[in-house]
Amino acid sequence: MSNRTKLRPQSRGAAQAATGPGRRRLSTLALAFALGALLAGPIGAVVASDDSSTNDQVAQLRAEEARRDAAQIVDLTTQARQVQESLVPVLDGLAAAVPVNAAAGPLAAPADVTGWQATTAKAVEGFADPPSAGTGVNIARSGLAAAVRALDLAVDTYAAALAVPPANRAQVLELAGRQRDVAVAAWSTAATQLDVLNVDAGNGHAHVFLPAVPGQGALTADGAAEGK
């Protein structure tokens, strides 16, 4: 009896130790879990709302970029046609002065060369401050700009050849011809890109190519009808 009597207080103490702080810890965990469950719903709704808003903004930006590029394709095509028309007389003059894969022809008149320089310089200036656009438009515009810079350099080289002693002139004229060929090839690549952009935009084919001959490495227009 005395042994059982001594054990009862210890059992009650053990029970109190198990049910006092333990219950408080369990209650705290349960409360935290409950609060987490309550908060998860509103937080998830906010995140979902933010994702929806972000998607809407992205879609709006893409639509604005598409409208911008559609307008710039038309503008760039118009500019390319104007530059093309202005450069044809320059290329005709160079074709006579430095034929492709042939010996140099008669020297062009200094006044004609000065006119070529004015024309190519104006073309270069026209591409000097490009507006912001999508990648496809930027590639086409950059290619056209690089082409007119190369042609401008070819004309300057030809002008320099006029001042070179006749014994050394042939090499400089050859260089001017090679630079001209690079310009025509570069323009043809950019013109092909511009053609693709017009077709994709629903404008039909736009063939804005410079005159080219075999040996210049230039792309030429396909057989599709203009605007079709």
| Mean pLDDT across the chain | 83
Contact, 155 vs 116, CB < 8 A?
Answer: yes
The pLDDT > 90 percentage for the chain reads 67
Measured distance CA(111)–CA(191) in Å, rounded: 30
Q: Is the pLDDT of residue 4 over 60?
A: no
pLDDT digits (tens, 9 = 90+) for 142-188: 999 999 999 999 999 999 999 999 999 999 999 999 999 999 999 99
Mapped onto helix, strand or coil, the DSSP state of residue 206 is coil
pLDDT digits (tens, 9 = 90+) for 14-39: 444 444 444 444 344 444 444 444 44
pLDDT digits (tens, 9 = 90+) for 56-88: 776 766 677 778 889 999 999 999 999 999 999
Which has the closest alpha carbon to 209: 72, 85, 70, 76?
85
- Give whole-number Cα distances, 126 to 139, 191, 219, 222, in Å: 16, 16, 23, 27
